[in-house]
Amino acid sequence: MDFAKMLHKFTVVPSLSEELAPLQRVAYNLWWSWEPDGINLFRRLDADLWKSTRHNPVEMLGILQQTTLESLKSDEGFMAHLKLVDEKLTDYLQASTWFDKNANCSSKMRVAYFSMEYGLHESLPIYSGGLGILAGDHLKSASDLGLPLVGVGLLYRQGYFRQYLNNEGWQQEYYPENDFYNLPLTLERDVAGLPLSFELEFGPRKFNVHIWRVQVGRVPLYLLDTNLEENSPEDRLITAQLYFGDKEMRMIQEILLGIGGIRALRLLGIIPNVCHMNEGHAAFLALERIRLLMDKRGITFSEARDIVRAGNIFTTHTPVEAGIDHFAPELLDTFFSRYCKTLGLTRDEFIGLGRQNPRNQQESFCMAVLALKLAGHINGVSQLHGEVSRRMWRNAWPELPLEQLPLNSVTNGVHTRTWMSNHMASLLIRYLGNRWLDDPTDHNVWRRIAKIPDAELWRTQQSCREKLVDFARQRLKAQLMKTGATTKEIATAEEVLDPEVLTIGFARRFATYKRGTLLLRDLDRLSRIVNNPEMPVQFIFAGKAHPQDQEGKELIRQIVQASHQERFRHRIVFIEDYDMEVARHLVQGVDVWLNTPLRPMEASGTSGMKVAFNGGLNMSILDGWWCEGYQGNNGWAIGKGEVYEDLDYQNQVEGRALYDLLEKEVVPHFYDQGSDGVPRSWVATMKASLQSLCPVFSTDRMVQEYAVSSYLPAYGQWKRLVDEDLALALDLSRWKERMFKAWPQVRIELAMAEVSDSIAVGSVVPVSARVTLGDIPADEVSVEGYFGVLDPTGNIEGGETVALRMTAELGQGRYEFGGSFECRFCGRHGFMLRIIPRHKILGNIYEPGYLIWG
């Protein structure tokens, strides 16, 4: 007998009376996770249960007995607390926002933000690392700022793995199942109350998808789920795990995210006009937007592409090609042969969209290249990463000089209220008022940090360190009990670490380039540092390696083995199962955050920013965000940003620099305490760090920057192209066709700069050019001079352009142009000429292959 067919399913939910109904409302909006009063409300229900459910209020309400819930009604203190939190949530959702005040003209802008993972809270484990945490913080700040934005992602049945260590220190993984009905998730339903569902069919795969919603303050996050009974067992696995499986599984997940995501939003009645691709995983969304536009308006691929590209933003997070998804053309044949026809493209044209050089048959299909080609705004995640990305992708724009590639940077940030400790927040409210909460980007507010008495700031730091030491001891004890340690070993866990000692934290994904063991290069020297009787030091490590990354696991093993040595037993601790809860304790309690990536492999990094908001100090290699954050008086730089050919030599140099820095600067600085026990110069460094880093490295600043530099301009450009029944878009397409057909006639006959071999700085140099344009009118091109200082290889470095104007028409499509440029710097200079197509309304239009240098 098939019992599955006989099984009737239903969901049991807590039965809350009218007075307690607000509990459910608050539990289902993750706003509570960055509102201290909200967190305390749920902790107050049952502190032990709060801990054992990983701080999941929905699960808690499901477990609590009906009698317990009913008895709350007579608890006046609790009911007053509930009323306060409920009113706070209502006020938050109705308050006027930054976006209301700054962008009222763009009320019809609708942004959809797509990411493969979201780190919103430890109770919703659908994230693995930095990319997900950043996406979660992005949504929280978009909510705080009132942006008209929705998130799109996948709902994984097994979130990222949980980690435990065996006796040898080897990482072991286990994958707990997410129970969607006990998470802050709502299944989207139609008017008849049935789950909203749509079908995706690609190549041999055909499956149904459900849509769940997580409410993040004002922002809804829609998560797609294929674990449905009507789907085949292999299709149910599509949303089983984050980043698992072979290339085919990865491609199907990315089809689901990009193409399925756009279809899910349409089903919900949401038509975004701006789409933000957080990493290349979501790039297929651009193709689906193009297909829908072609369908609706009866236009060609190239016409639709110009419109869609204008409304797409792409953020790249990786500084190495290996970190980006590449697919073999055969895999695209399997899944996209029919789809490619609906776009009106040949196989080669379609695959060419994912190649830097479309004609290179050896090149695989790259998701980042697809995103680069179909986005109007592109950015890296720190200034250094912007430079690295321009070098990495320069072949996508072969005729443009490096500094003019359309790839900028928006440096990452962190969501202040999620990561700042209550101790620090209440101290700031006492001395800074609420302004730093309302406008965290205002430098003037943060300058008032100077007014906080040194002793009070120091006491706050001490109480956070004590809390961290207590947490680390509890976690270590639990770890030992699980591995069957002796009573004596468990008792020792009560004594590890010391709440009075300088505490340094190192926690991150254990990828080899992050060099988690740089600190262990000379264990004897390290032992002298940590066991110095006058000035002891202790280290807390945490982090996970990818399940397939044996080298990363070996790094963890080495740290754990070192921590077991008698000389380090009380001074080095590894906390297992790194997640958002462990991260919060660490960033709120350490004195110093250690970061040792191999430059320039850290695109940005954000954990050090979280430490800064809590008064901790950064000690890092000059990579990622720290290149912008470090100012000499607000933390420490390991080395000066040098990069050596020999990796072993680099590790040796930077390992030594790290020990020197600890022995000569960091440790003495911390222990230089006055008679009252306050280290004045250390506190001055804390204040400099808070003042310089807090207004800059928050996601409020970051999301404002995205809004001003990408979302609003993208919306404006999209709107210009679609207004008046696509008039401008169709004109642009016809103009391009005519222009590109006539382009082979364009030539630079002569370029002259009236200059002797040596001239004085500040001189103005006249330049002239004679060009042939054939059938192209002179006002439909830009003739530009490109000049600047030459580098040692004879190329212009960081050049400037100056537009030349037409001075004479010579007949038969020939013209003279003239202008001048000013030499503002000394040194060897060079000058070149170029011609680029120029649209009368939209200005210069660059497409690879249509820019001529002379």
Helices 580-589 and 454-482: crossing angle in degrees, nearest 10, is 140
What's the pLDDT tens digit per position in 742-795? 999 999 998 887 777 778 888 888 888 999 999 999 999 999 988 888 888 888
Whether 18 shows a pLDDT value over 90: the answer reads: no
Give the CB-side neighbour count of residue 236, counting CA atoms within 13 A: 8
Whether 10 shows a pLDDT value over 80: the answer reads: no
Sheet containing strand 747-753, strands side by side: 747-753, 764-772, 814-822, 805-811
What's the pLDDT tens digit per position in 698-746? 999 999 999 999 999 999 999 999 999 999 999 999 999 999 999 999 9
Whether 5 shows a pLDDT value over 70: the answer reads: no
Residue of 4 and 611 predicted with greater confidence: 611
What's the pLDDT tens digit per position in 47-97? 999 999 999 999 999 998 888 888 899 999 999 999 999 999 999 999 999
What phi and psi, each to the nearest 5 degrees, are found at residue 751?
-135, 125
Q: What is the predicted pLDDT for the residue at 419?
A: 98
Q: What is the predicted pLDDT for the residue at 854?
A: 81
Q: Where are the alpha helices (DSSP H) in 353-442?
A: 367-373, 383-392, 416-419, 422-432, 435-438
Q: What is the predicted pLDDT for the residue at 167?
A: 83
CA dist 728 → 468, 643, 725, 731, 840 (Å):
59, 49, 9, 5, 11
Q: What is the predicted pLDDT for the residue at 185?
A: 96
Mean pLDDT for 141-168 is: 94
Whether 144 shows a pLDDT value over 90: the answer reads: yes
CA 507 to CA 46: how far, in whole Å? 30
Instruction: Provide DSSP, 653-696.
Output: HHHHHHHHHIIIIIHHHHH---TTS--HHHHHHHHHHHHHHTTT
Whether 413 shows a pLDDT value over 60: the answer reads: yes
Q: What is the largest CA-CA distance in the chain?
A: 97
Q: Where are the alpha helices (DSSP H) in 146-225?
A: none
First to last CA, the chain: 80
Instruction: Provide DSSP, 471-524.
Output: HHHHHHHHHHHHTT--HHHHHHHTTSS-TTSEEEEEES---GGG-TTGGGS-HH
CA 350 to CA 352: how far, in whole Å? 5
Evaluate whether 53 touches 184 at the Cβ level (below 8 Å): no
Q: What is the predicted pLDDT for the residue at 285?
A: 98
Nearest to 126 by CA among 163, 169, 155, 88: 155
CA 210 to CA 188: how far, in whole Å? 8
Q: What is the predicted pLDDT for the residue at 578?
A: 95
DSSP character at residue 300: -
State the pLDDT confidence band at 2, using cuts at 50, 70 and 90.
low
Mean pLDDT for 545-571 is: 94
State the pLDDT confidence band at 487, using cuts at 50, 70 and 90.
confident
Nearest to 464 by CA among 423, 417, 505: 423
811 CA to centre of own chain: 55
The answer to which of 374-388, 491-505, 597-611, 639-653 has the lowest mean pLDDT is 639-653
Nearest to 32 by CA among 24, 580, 51, 589: 24
- For residue 337, how many other CB atoms are within 10 A of its CB? 13
